[in-house]
Chain A
Amino acid sequence: MSEAPKFKVTIDNITIEVPAGTTILNAARMIGGDVTPPAMCYYSKLKESGGKCRTCLVEVSKGSEKDPRPMPKLVASCRTTVMDGMEVKNITSDKVIDARKGIVEMLLINHPLDCPVCDQAGECDLQDLSYDHGTEGTRYEFARRTFEKEDIGPYIQLHMTRCILCYRCVNTAQELTNRREHGILERGDHSEISTLLGKALDNEFIGNVIDVCPVGALTDKTFRFKNRVWFTKPVDAHRDCPTCSGKTRLWMRGDEVYRVTARKDQWGEVEEWICNECRFEKKETKDWVIEGPSKVSRTSVISQGHYVNTEKAHVLIDKVIGKQPQLLMDIHAISDVNRPEIKLSEIEGPAHSDDFKGSV
């Protein structure tokens, strides 16, 4: 069998050779950097994903070497495969930038913008997208769609109002589990993620829908409101897990494990799926072998306060005055926050007012 033919494709004046059948988005990801179109629904690990959100629209200014006519409309780069000699414009095209602005506005039409409450804030794809490509305000004046709250089990919190209908979680359940128990009901403006007849999602790999969700529609109930993402420290860790690879990322604060997620690559995609036991049940440091702090992009809010390769300065005051300096106030004796008797990471689900009753 001969090797797959290579196609030459030019994206934003950068030429690259890719195997035939590669999508424009993946070709752009091979180049990397700014020319990569953003993707809200496409997930390279999920076969059926893509084509829903339209944020990855690009302009094809030359169809191929044989048929150099430009494509009449902007095309979704996650679903369009490259042709030999194709020329694609992403950030060099005003049409694309304008269209993307419109798409962001459309995605945000029904989004409640409750980022201060949302647990996804800080690692939210929609936040990044609207920051990079969106406009400052909205022109939408009408009521946003609302839904009745649905409980989908003890581990996963569903916030349907935040959903952008990317279908990633549906595809995840379809491809990872034997029997998919949730899907999109209704149609058009009424479409919603739901389990028919209020079932609970309990497959042992269903926790991965939390990681694939680009917004805060599906979040971890065991981490709910416990802390903000950027105040916890991501640490790579692993454990011997009989069901999954056990390679995870712990989100720690001191010695407490607040949250366990899968490791994500540079495109915000999960590297290896993890099981529910690793994700929800193992919230103690002794369950894990810690490998070291995860790499966080310097531009991410999560990198705030997480310093790498620092050297601690020598404290010389005790040598100068010949004794330990007197501690005038121990903040932990007065402060109400971080009380040792309240272990937030051990509370099941979000904390409530009675969880704090015992303390002063």
Chain B
Amino acid sequence: MRKDVLIAGFGGQGVLLAGNLLSYAAIDEGKNVSYFPAYGVEKRGGSATCTVVIADGAVGSPVVGQPSVLVVLNQASLERFGARVRPGGILIVNSSLVDVSALGRSDINVVPVAMNDIATDLGDPRMVNMVALGAYVALTDAVQLPSLVAALSQALPERNHRFIPANVKAIETGAEAAMAKKEA
């Protein structure tokens, strides 16, 4: 088993935290993982991406040219990476902010999830990354949902542990939303 995902958005959307959380969960499941971040010098804004590879055997390249799954949180990331998704792969897109109509790819499975709307409904738009991650895990089984929930205490600094219940809810809601789209 070797799974790779590129998560991309703008700085401040929690892309790196999402990648970290996924990696912690995979490590707790005994898998091999590489997490490779790339981001601008800005604290907010600019581009933020991370590539996570999860494997039973050797991870190999932490750099992925054609990800099997791309999660895009903003329009710029779709334009930059949309063409790169491996044929037959999955594009999970934050349809609250991103318009995929001009993408022109019929060879991949596009799953729109209104991540910002869902996160806002749950009380905080900043949980958009958790909604995205829930959707990713539901669609790919890269890790088990309970592993992701259990890893929150490792990925978040202690001062933010009080937000764990809300984040769990965001992960679960993202997962449900993605499954509903998949079945639709």
Whether both chains belong to one complex is answered with: no
